[in-house]
Structure 1
Amino acid sequence: MSNEPIGPRLRALRQASGRTVASVAADAGLSVPYIANLENGRGNPTTNALGRLAAALGTELSIGFSAETPPAAAPAPPGVVKLSRSKRFRATAAVLAERSGQDPQDVAARLISACAVLAEVFGHEPGEHDWWRVLDALVLVAEHPA
């Protein structure tokens, strides 16, 4: 397993599901400060705690060994976090998940991560309308592949 911080991924999954730290903590049987610390890059969770978090978030924990190290996840910009909490974002993630046969929460988390990377590529955070244009383009491609 790489030494990549899990905090950004954990936060993205939680936010994509529209959940609070408290609700995830209750479902996972973990404390709110413990999860908040993990999301902020502090602490070293056990595989048991990660498994409980995955179950609480409706996803699976996958641990493996690989010769390749994936790039570290970029933290989601504030505008993306706000966007991810909207009904329209969840609906967009659901459409993309349906088209690709994937889990909507996983698609939403990956959309948040992709938007964070795009903000790095742009060198600034695009506005809300620009994010919607990006997401609408993804839906268009999913519904009408070339």
Structure 2
Amino acid sequence: MPKEPIGPRLRALRQASGRTVASVAADAGLSVPYIANLENSRGNPTTSALSRLAAALGTELSIEFTAAGETTSTTTTPAPQSVVRLSRTRRFRETVRALAEASGQDPADVSGRLITAFSVIAEAMGREPGEADWWRVLDALLLVAEHPA
């Protein structure tokens, strides 16, 4: 049994990508009510449905079995609302595009990793930084990417 419901994580991934339930449903070939129910922690998705959702959201599905009492290092921290709002801005998309170009990576991958990293940072700080704080972090990352030491 998972330690946290999949619904909040699914919603955070969808919101962070700036997508609607309908657009994700269309890309995954699933119904809007089905995804809405999953996001509200109702229903039991199949691995096939989860794989289709992961692909539609530009992420990878990872399922892991561990021994009793064993922990994994994977975090499933939902994105803070400040990060979700930030990720919907044009400036964020432009910054992600610049970071992706500087590193030769796919912008969707960079965006997903940034959102995950910001979620971990907020959890480590024990509070949700504000938008201005996230911009300082993004500006520093862009400076390092474009002008390595």
The amino acid of 1:35's aligned partner reads: I
**Contact persistence 1:13–1:105 (CA under 8 A):** no
Q: What count of residue pairs does the alignment treat as equivalent?
A: 144
- Tell me, yes or no, if the aligned pair for 2:50 and 2:61 is still in contact at 8 Å: no
- What do the CA deviations read for 1:26-50 (whole angstroms, capped 9, x no partner)? 2222122322343455543222212
Which TM-score applies when normalising by structure 1? Answer: 0.78
Q: Is the 8 A contact 2:95 2:138 kept in 1?
A: yes
Match of 2:100 in 1: 97
1:139: Cα distance to partner?
Answer: 1.0
CA contact (8 A) 1:92 1:135 kept: yes
Higher relative contact order (CA 8 A, sep 6+): 1
> Percent identity between the aligned chains?
69
Query: How big is each residue's C-alpha offset from its partner over 1:53-83, in whole Å with a ceiling of 9 and x where there is no partner?
Result: 23323x3645465877233321211111111
Question: Are 2:114 and 1:138 equivalent residues in the alignment?
Answer: no
After superposition, residues 1-146 of structure 1 pair within 5 angstroms as: 3=2, 6-7=6-7, 10-57=10-57, 59=58, 61-63=60-62, 69-146=72-149
* Structure 1: runs of 5 or more not aligned: none
Structure 1 residues 86, 66: closer, same or farther in 2, change over 3 A? same
Look up the SS of the partner of 1:55 in the other structure. Answer: helix
Unaligned 5+ residue runs, structure 2? Answer: none
**Residues 70, 32 of structure 1: alpha-carbon distance in 2 compared, 3 angstrom cutoff:** farther
